Amino acid sequence: MIRLNKLTDYAVVTLCRMGSEPDAVFTAQQLARESGVPQPTVAKLMKQLGRAGIVSSQRGAAGGYSLGRAAREISVAEVITALEGPISLTACVDGADTSCSVLSLCPMSGNWNRVNEAIRGALEGVSLADMSPAPIDFLSARTPAPATTTRPVAQRAATGS
């Protein structure tokens, strides 16, 4: 199974939250509260994403973080690469700096590149905007719906009430 780490998942959640208000500036505390991601994790992510140019930070009383560019211009591949390094299924890719003891004998040497490139291309084709196509109300999504005490319509019709 191919699996992204939890930090990458959290990054996409917080970046989608930021993308829902493109011109807004968010504090780490605000992003944590509204996305459900722990505040220390948000701070760590913002630092890493800032180094990659995905978010920009602003100092001062009205400071915080904003997307470095529009959500439709930031690919999922870019987020993954910023947090996890190059996208590949195996370490045996052309140009990798690994020392495989059987590389000279391996019939697959370099052939995994086609698979890695296909996956990378697919992820480059998905933007943050694609990840949340409909506006998401992050605050109400975390609030459970109130319990209802009324009977379903079918039961009311059957009893005449």
Task: Read off the pLDDT band of 9 (50, 70, 90).
Answer: very high
Condensed to tens digits (0 to 9), the pLDDT of residues 105-119 reads: 777 666 778 888 899
* pLDDT for residue 158: 53
- What's the whole-number mean pLDDT along residues 51-74? 94
Which fold is adopted by the domain 6-84+127-145? Arc Repressor Mutant, subunit A (1.10.10)
Does residue 94 have a pLDDT over 70?
no
- What's the whole-number mean pLDDT along residues 79-108? 73
Question: Can you give the residue ranges of every domain in the chain?
Answer: 6-84+127-145
User: Nearest CA to 45 among 102, 83, 101?
Assistant: 83
Residue indicated by tokens 């948000």: 42
- What's the whole-number mean pLDDT along residues 1-25? 90
Condensed to tens digits (0 to 9), the pLDDT of residues 129-158 reads: 999 866 555 555 555 555 545 455 555 455
CB 49 within 8 A of CB 79: yes
